[in-house]
Chains A and B, each alone.
Chain A
Amino acid sequence: MRRPVTTLLLAACAALSVVPAARADSLLFDYVGFDYESPNPNPATFGEPGSGYVGLGTVPFLFAPLVSNTTLNEYTMVIQCQTPSVIPVGGLEIVNYATGSVTIYEDSKALGTTADYAPNPPNSTVPATFSDGTAILVGTLTNFQLIVDTSNGVGSFEAVLNVTGGTQLGNFPADQRTGWTFSGTTGEALNIPAGYAHQIDGQSFLNGPTAARRISWGRLKAGYR
């Protein structure tokens, strides 16, 4: 009796067995804007102890599973990170932040407030005009790492993205809520408003779901022979 039961269980396992297959990352959203520090205990340096990173900007392109209407709405994003630690490398710095978050807001163009990079943030306009409206995506950023040339602000950052909230959280399948973001930074652009450190231009990807592939019992066994 045991043998048939064991065989049945193995067969059931085999039928349900899955083999991971590589799936493509997909572009989730693209953003462009500026960053600054708040709090900023030492304006002469970036990433000093006690400082916080704030990146904000517009999000002109959003992709599935996010649903957007860029004709009717303005989309903005705010990145906030805390607790930096700096590793100097030549004339560059590697700044690692302990915690962070990103939020994308949807704001009606007709009824909302247009995002405005008012000088010397934070102030009554910044980040308020970027964080008004509906938070459609809320995520955590971990391993946020900025590499920057201290002489001209040229560099890049990246982080792990985990989608944790927002009105469109339900659009994300439970097995597809992680991804990553990266951006270039520069201090060379002449259009950087007073009080901002860098221009940023980046994008975020969503990792493909861990895929399952149907396989026969025979093939599975063959894999272990």
Chain B
Amino acid sequence: MAMRTNPFAAETTMKRWRYTLCAVLALAAMPRPARAAAPVIDWDPAYFWMPGATFDNMPAGGIMQAVGTISLFGPPLDFLNVTMPATEYTFYMNNLSSQGTTALGPPGTTIYQTAFTGGTIDVYADPTPDAVFAPNPPNPQVPGTFTDVGPPILSGVFTSLLVTTNNFTAFKTGNIEGDIQWTGGTLIDYFKPNGGAACPGLFTGGATWNTAPGVGIPGYLFRHDGKIDLQCPVPTQKSSWGRVKQLYR
């Protein structure tokens, strides 16, 4: 028996092809599965200082600074080896301007948040290892021994930075996180995956104002254990129609 031609069949088939085509285009533009990447820069430790500030009150207009020693580089800087004793990698943050501290919550569980504007970060490769977290900065060693051989391998400006502390954690722990726009340095091209603008950086990690020996150092406000991630846009992958179909066979 001959099949009766459905007047809507051709249209239905056409619609199916259109939907399929749309799906193919969407798949072609879909981000590739992101596998966890190592941080581009990891440190332990960094120490912050800010004259006149306490963990729960960083007065507006105050300037916060920090120095740190880098313990690990990840891609695309994983060719830098921090275990080579001939070179130490350090960074210096300066000119972070406090916008004042805001308190949230009841007296027993108060959380303090302090936003900072401005601020710079410079990363150094120093062939004369000498960095030391000398107490009570600034002093002849801090930040001097963290910045003593230029030019920086990376330079950037902070587009935001937020310090979160509290009055109830037993070990006096909180968080410092910010965003970095990279602007220069001898290795900045490694942060430009497509030759365009440098990928932004995410500065993140835990902070403690614990003054116990071995943890805190007199004259510093925070010890920070953190890292910087490169926030590159997730890449897309071009694909052919045949390859996409293969995925569903």
C-beta contact mask, A95-131 vs B, less than 8 Å → 1, else 0? Answer: 0000000000000000000000101000000000000
Are A192 and B104 touching (Cβ within 8 A)?
A: no
Chain B interface residue number, banded: 35 or more
A98 to chain B, nearest CB (A): 16
Are B212 and A25 touching (Cβ within 8 A)?
A: yes
Are B175 and A24 touching (Cβ within 8 A)?
A: no
Knowing A154-B164, A184-B207, A201-B206, the reply to whether A193 touches B175 (Cβ < 8 A) is: no
Q: How far is the CA of A23 from the CA of B39 in the complex (A)?
A: 33
A33 to chain B, nearest CB (A): 8
Pairs across A and B, CB under 8 Å, 16 listed: A24-B214, A25-B213, A89-B110, A92-B164, A147-B164, A156-B164, A156-B173, A158-B171, A180-B171, A184-B225, A184-B226, A188-B177, A188-B202, A192-B36, A194-B34, A201-B225
Chain B residues with Cβ below 8 Å from A157 are 173
Chain A interface residue number, banded: 35 or more
Contact of B36 among A34, A149, A155 (CB under 8 A): A34
Chain B residues with Cβ below 8 Å from A155 are 164, 175
Identify whether the interface residues of B are mostly helix, strand, loop, or mixed.
strand
Contact of B72 among A60, A192, A194 (CB under 8 A): A60
A136 within 8 A of B: no
Knowing A24-B213, A89-B104, A180-B171, the reply to whether A190 touches B166 (Cβ < 8 A) is: no
A76 within 8 A of B: no
Q: How far is the CA of A189 from the CA of B213 in the complex (A)?
A: 32
A40 within 8 A of B: no
User: Which chain A residues in 137-185 approach chain B with CB under 8 Å?
Assistant: 143, 145, 147, 149, 154-158, 160, 180, 182-185
User: Which chain B residues in 137-178 approach chain A with CB under 8 Å?
Assistant: 162, 164, 166, 168-171, 173-177
A65 within 8 A of B: no
A28 to chain B, nearest CB (A): 11
